[in-house]
Structure 1
Amino acid sequence: MTGTPDPNSRTALQDRRARHLLVWSGPLLFLFARPAFAVVAQGLVAAICAARGSASAWRDAGAWFSVYGTLIDAGCLALLWWLTRKEGLSLRDLIGFERRKLGRDILLGLALIPPGLLFILGGIAASSLLIFGRVEGPQLSEPLPFIAALYAVLVWPLIWGFTEQMGYNGYLVPRLQVLAGRTWVAVAVVAFVWSFQHAVMPLSFDPAFMLHRALSSIPNALFMIVVYLRLRRLLPLAIAHWLMDGASTLSAF
């Protein structure tokens, strides 16, 4: 007995492209949606800070990134829901969840953490050395109230990790691979956009810091994309992403 065909597989995507259900407009719309939502969300928080009398509202808003980041995810999930419905899919189809593989996916997600950390820390070290001449660049990190900090550690990383993986790996990579007809194009474009988003999360208007944020993210973005293309399974990457972001946020406090 054969299993149910994966609706997010390359074969299924090629079939939807032939039936004009998969077209360039969807991936192009989503490409820079996440950075755009990030700037809008920070602007909303900055407006609140300004209304409360802050003299540096934009910078103060940036300190709340790990809280207002869920607004970014909400915008991305709404857009993904709309785009996948146009293809006759659901958000669940992007994850490819299979109950019988859950244990294996969890173990694989844990196994991806050590190499993921190597690419993250290596990227940060190389980028900061290149731009600042030292291994550590400046950070935009300020303490949050207890409840906000608790949310940032326990809730935000879970939503963030799954949404980011669904958007870049689950949605963009396989569709650009089919539309462009070349895997390397999909890898290069998504890695660039995925890395670029960090320059505006939060947006500091400091060119050196923004460049550092973007460049430092390239190695890990490439790693996650290559792993996804090899596995064609999103859950292990989402689990690793969630746990690494949670640990990173906790260490910042």
Structure 2
Amino acid sequence: MPQPIPRPWRITRRRRLTWEIAIVLGLSLGASAVYSIVSLVAKLTDDTPLASQSTALNSAQSTREWLDFTYQSLAIFFDLVPVALVLYLLAISGPNPFRRIGFDLRTPARDSARGLLLVLVIGVPGIALYFIGRAAGITVNVVPAPIDAYWWTVPVLIASALRAALTEELIVVGYLFTRLRQLGWGQWQIILSAAVLRGSYHLYQGIGPFFGNVVMGIVFGWCYTRWGRTMPLVIAHWIIDIASFVGYAWALSTFPGLFRLS
């Protein structure tokens, strides 16, 4: 018969998992949440109203094209290192991490269909909430794509959207849900905590996006607990961000006067 696990070892394992979560979040989205909170405080204490302020995503890193491309590519690569880290940590503490969190190609058709469903459920209302937040003065003007476009701008924006999808869904959902379950957290305790974290690292965009992303986190978390797969979440998040990044860049070049009113 297997021997019972000594209590001191269980305590040590619990502490190790807690420290592991803290380190992973400190290297990734937890740090982003702290910076976002500080950014929001700075915006709220500024003399300029929140609705009149802007924040830029995927902004140019240099006026020289080749250097801008280099910086953008390096940023995407190094932002994915924490994703590799959590997959490694899951691999050394259990079975195949890709199957464990449902990030594989076993059911591509079903995953794609579920991802597209989530785009309709989250993406369309999310755009509406953004404009409602702008009208209410609780959301800053978000500029999701650079003004100056090069031949490589669209591929980089697509890669940036994939970076965001992989980082958020594999760390906040796949990894964090697994570890919090191991710590004995309940299902809704995990879903709500992860959703608040998701909202927190979007606070730099204003108060409106915080609540919008909390709702997204609740829906995504609930779907993950039912499906046991992160692949549909990654697909949905990637499509939503591609529409935001590339769609904005296309609209900016096609209807330049439209964004002068923002």
Counterparts of 1:189 and 1:118, CA distance in 2: 24
User: 2:85 matched to 1:79?
Assistant: yes
Segments of 5+ residues of structure 1 without an aligned counterpart are: 1-16, 40-58, 201-208
User: What code does the residue aligned with 1:29 have?
Assistant: I
Count of residues in Structure 1 that have an aligned counterpart in Structure 2? 207
The one-letter code matched in structure 2 to 1:111 is L
1:167-186 equivalences in 2 (<5 Å): 167-186=171-190
Q: Is the 8 A contact 1:35 1:197 kept in 2?
A: yes
Look up the match of 2:29.
34
- Equivalence for 1:205: none
The answer to whether structure 1 residue 191 and structure 2 residue 195 are counterparts is yes
**Contact 1:176–1:185 (CA under 8 A) maintained in structure 2:** no
Match of 1:157 in 2: 161
Paired position in structure 1 for 2:254: none
1:138 corresponding residue in structure 2: 141
Distance 1:35 1:249 in 2: 23
Question: Aligned with 1:146: secondary structure?
Answer: coil
Please tell me whether Structure 1 or Structure 2 has the larger radius of gyration of its CA atoms.
2
Question: What does residue range 14-163 of structure 1 map to in structure 2 within 5 Å?
Answer: 20=13, 23-32=17-26, 33-36=28-31, 63-64=59-60, 67=72, 70-71=76-77, 73-89=79-95, 91-97=97-103, 99-129=105-135, 132=137, 137-141=140-144, 142-163=146-167
Paired with 1:171 and 1:72, the residues of 2 have a C-alpha distance of: 18
Cα distance in structure 1, aligned partners of 2:128 and 2:56: 29
Identity, % of aligned pairs?
A: 20
Indicate yes or no: 2:238 matched with 1:234: no
Deviations 1:126-178 (A, max 9, x none): 5444x507xx7422354143145223333222233133211111111232234
Q: TM-score, normalised by structure 2?
A: 0.64
Give the Cα–Cα distance (whole angstroms) in 2 for the partners of residues 139 and 98 of structure 1: 33
Q: In 2 relative to 1, CA 192–98 (structure 1 residues): closer, same or farther, beyond 3 Å? A: closer
Partners of 2:32 and 2:201 within 8 A in 1: no
Structure 2: 5+ residue stretches without partners: 1-9, 36-54, 62-70, 250-262
TM-score by length of 1: 0.66
